[in-house]
Amino acid sequence: MMSDKDSLMRARLEKANALMLWVMGLSFLFSLYLASWYGMWGQALGFGLVLLALAALLRSTLGRHRASGPLMAILQMAMVALQIHLAHGLIEIHFGVFVMLAVLTVYRQIETLLSGAVTIALHHLLFCLLQAEGYPVWLFNHMGNHWFTVTLHAAYVVVETIVLVTVALQSRQEHLQGDLLSETSQAMTGQQGVINLDVDVPPLTGVLKRFRDLISALVSLGRSLVREKEALGQLNQDLVRQSQLIGQQSQASAQALDELAGAVEEMSASANHIAESAEQAQRFVGEAVTQQQQARAATDTAASASVEMRQQIGQTAALLGDVNQASSAISKVLDVITEIADKTNLLALNAAIEAARAGDLGRGFAVVADEVRALAAQTQSSTGEIANFISTLQQKVASSVNAMRECEKKAGLSEEAALNVAERINASQQTLELGSNQITQVASATHQQHQLAQGMAGGASEMRSRQQQIDTAIQALDALTRQISEQEQNMARQLGMLYLPRLSN
């Protein structure tokens, strides 16, 4: 660590000597200007070039040595003494002493300032004595109160030297801290891509103490960031697992929602179909009720017609009975007529016999008797036909009466059947009316179910929209987890650049 400190000090001395060589060169040029005042070119060139050459030699040989500062201060003050001499002791040129002392603070060395102050003090004492003795040297342009002036200049030099020494001490302390800071910073950043916080900072005050506190704070911050990075990594892993779980659940929910939506749509279609079927069944039942009402009316009409027909058949049977009785009476009359015709025929035969006996007198009577017999024969023939007809009529009337009685029985059966059919139609109508009411209720309930299914379908559509929003949020969450993972990796890479000291057990 001391070698690094010495290296920094030597580098600083080398820079200071290079600067002072430039200052020496400028001072030499200023000396040449002053030489033109009184034509003292030989002294300016002789002493000036020697001093400039010694400064260059000093920089090239001892430029990184600690003694280079005091030696360079002696040479600089010698150049100022030359300038005072070339200006014939002009009081304003003495200000160069104070300027040069201030410039020498670039070394941050007490010995350099003291060397410069002692050199210029010896110069003033020596040149004051020599000028007072009449030697060709110049310190003041007039020698009145020269010792007072020397003493006053010495006092100013002492005061400035004390101030500059104080500044140099403080500057050297700060420079030491700066060197340590530089050394520590170099140790921290010596390895490319790595910031080493495992460095030992001396427990000094001021900037180093604050720098040490800063490093301690950075170490604490680094460890905290490491813990936060590990916690962030764990949190990101948990978040990824939760995101994957949510994604799986969302997919399952979306699948179930699609199945639910399909089932709701099928239920809605089924409910609509059932409602249409119920309405159609209601129409069919209404038509069946109407047809049954018409059938009941027709049955009632048929029953009434059966009653009337039975009554008419009874009346017809009664009339046929009367006809049969009349036919019997006519048969009896025909029997009487037949008997009369037989008797008339017998009388006509007797009359013909008697007319034959009477001869010519009975011839006209015989004709009448023949006519009467012919008429009796015709009457017998007609009455026979009428008897046959009436016999046939009586048979047919008897058959008709029997048929009418059968029809009357069947009409009674038809009436009973019509009444039974009417009762059954009435019961069926009541059943159909009850079924119609139930179908109406089913249609109403199915319509409500259809509306409910449509509402559920709307809800399923809204849920599907929200599911899409959830999927979008899950995708955003996945993107966020990827960003967090990238940030975690970046943080890990950044923290990998920090080399933290190990915790002591």
Region 37-59: mean pLDDT is 94
Q: Determine the pLDDT at residue 26.
A: 95
Q: What is the DSSP letter of 89?
A: T
Average pLDDT, the chain: 76
Render pLDDT for 20-32 as a digit per residue (tens, 0 to 9): 999 999 999 999 9
98 has a pLDDT exceeding 80: yes
- Cα(28)–Cα(21) distance, rounded to whole angstroms? 10
373 has a pLDDT exceeding 50: yes
Contact residues for 189 (Cβ-Cβ < 8 A; gap 6+): 195, 196
CA dihedral of residues 154, 67, 15, 95 (deg, nearest 10): 10
Render pLDDT for 395-414 as a digit per residue (tens, 0 to 9): 776 777 677 677 667 767 76
Render pLDDT for 245-268 as a digit per residue (tens, 0 to 9): 777 777 777 776 677 667 667 766
Q: What is the DSSP letter of 479?
A: H
Contact residues for 122 (Cβ-Cβ < 8 A; gap 6+): none
Region 176-183: mean pLDDT is 64
Q: Which residue has the higher pLDDT, 291 or 136?
A: 136
Q: Which residue has the higher pLDDT, 474 or 13?
A: 13
Report which listed range, 40-49, 168-177, 276-285, 379-388, is most confident: 40-49
Q: Which residue has the higher pLDDT, 480 or 275?
A: 480
Q: Determine the pLDDT at residue 333.
A: 74
3-state SS of 243-260?
Answer: HHHHHHHHHHHHHHHHHH
367 has a pLDDT exceeding 70: yes
192 has a pLDDT exceeding 60: yes
Contact residues for 436 (Cβ-Cβ < 8 A; gap 6+): 282, 285, 286, 289
The lowest-confidence range among 77-81, 313-317, 498-502 is 498-502
Closest C-alpha to 157, from 130, 119, 127: 119
Q: Determine the pLDDT at residue 88.
A: 92
Render pLDDT for 65-84 as a digit per residue (tens, 0 to 9): 888 989 999 999 999 999 99
Q: Which residue has the higher pLDDT, 148 or 430?
A: 148
Render pLDDT for 448-463 as a digit per residue (tens, 0 to 9): 766 776 776 677 677 7
* Confidence band of 443 (pLDDT split at 50, 70, 90): low
Report which listed range, 80-89, 474-483, 496-505, is most confident: 80-89
Report which listed range, 9-13, 271-275, 311-315, is most confident: 9-13
* Confidence band of 43 (pLDDT split at 50, 70, 90): very high
Q: Which residue has the higher pLDDT, 156 or 415?
A: 156
Contact residues for 334 (Cβ-Cβ < 8 A; gap 6+): 383, 386, 387, 390
* Confidence band of 346 (pLDDT split at 50, 70, 90): confident
CA distances from residue 320 to 293, 394, 408 in whole angstroms, order as listed: 39, 9, 14
297 has a pLDDT exceeding 60: yes
Q: Determine the pLDDT at residue 175.
A: 63
Ordered by start, the domain boundaries in the chain are 2-184, 262-455
- Cα(93)–Cα(83) distance, rounded to whole angstroms? 7
Helix, strand or coil, per DSSP, at residue 323:
helix
Question: Are 141 and 88 contacting, i.e. CB atoms less than 8 angstroms apart?
Answer: yes
Render pLDDT for 422-441 as a digit per residue (tens, 0 to 9): 677 677 667 667 766 776 77
Q: Determine the pLDDT at residue 2.
A: 45
174 has a pLDDT exceeding 70: no
Q: Determine the pLDDT at residue 404.
A: 66
- 0.75 exceeded by pTM: no
The CATH homologous superfamily to which domain 262-455 belongs is Methyl-accepting chemotaxis protein (1.10.287.950)
Q: Determine the pLDDT at residue 1.
A: 41
Q: Determine the pLDDT at residue 209.
A: 61
